[in-house]
Amino acid sequence: MHRFVPAVGAMGGALLVVSSMATASSAPTVTAPAFALTGTAVGGVKTIQNGQTLTFAFTETNKGTRSAPEDLVVTQHRNVRVVAVTCVLPGGFAINPDGSSCEPGFLNPGRSASSVITTRVIGDSGQRASVTLCLTNENTGTKGPCKTISVPIA
């Protein structure tokens, strides 16, 4: 009988370990980075005239649970000439772009980075001045989301 008790105790311990492993494997999985993209014509500009300066600001925010290298890339502009692009890192530090791309590096969950695009309106009355910006993941090449901001030209 004495040999039977340790054997049952060892089996109970093994079952406890297996049970703990099953519980650990049913833990929630970590989700991939998920980025939100917002944009605006700076200053609340609703209508603009030819020859005026129009500035757009786009902000990416990591809403996921992991960091990722998402670049802010100007993919199209209409009826404007891009004069300058400024990249703003989390914490407000401004850096130069790489062409029309802002590359803030790995963006941690809950953090944001921005691209500020200064333009000169070259379109005619009745047209729209616009900039389209897309996020691009440096590791995977995945593109999106994208956002277009446009303002009527008076």
pLDDT for 38-68, tens place per residue? 999 999 999 999 999 999 999 999 999 999 9
Answer with the residue of higher pLDDT: 91 or 3.
91
Report CA 86 to chain centroid distance, whole Å. 16
Phi, psi dihedral angles at 18 (to 5 degrees): -60, -45
How many helices (H) and strands (E) would you count in the chain? 1, 10
Instruction: For residue 104, give the nearest of 76, 141, 136 by alpha carbon.
Output: 136
Tell me what pLDDT residue 11 has. 45
Range of lowest pLDDT (7-21, 64-78, 128-142) = 7-21
Tell me what pLDDT residue 32 has. 62
* Distances 122 to 42, 106, 154 between C-alpha atoms, Å: 18, 36, 12
- The mean of the pLDDT values for the chain is 86
Average pLDDT rounded to a whole number, residues 118-143: 96
Query: b/e for 55-67, b at 16 or more Cβ within 10 A?
Result: bbbbbbbbebeee
The C-alpha torsion from 87 through 88 and 89 to 93, rounded to 10°, is 120
pLDDT digit string, tens, across residues 84-108: 999 999 999 999 999 989 999 999 9
Instruction: For residue 154, give the nearest of 42, 50, 44, 53 by alpha carbon.
Output: 50
Average pLDDT rounded to a whole number, residues 143-150: 97
Q: Residue 44, by phi and psi: left (phi above 0), alpha (psi -120 to 50) or beta?
A: left
Tell me what pLDDT residue 14 has. 45
Average pLDDT rounded to a whole number, residues 129-138: 97
pTM of the prediction?
0.79
pLDDT surpasses 50 at 23: no
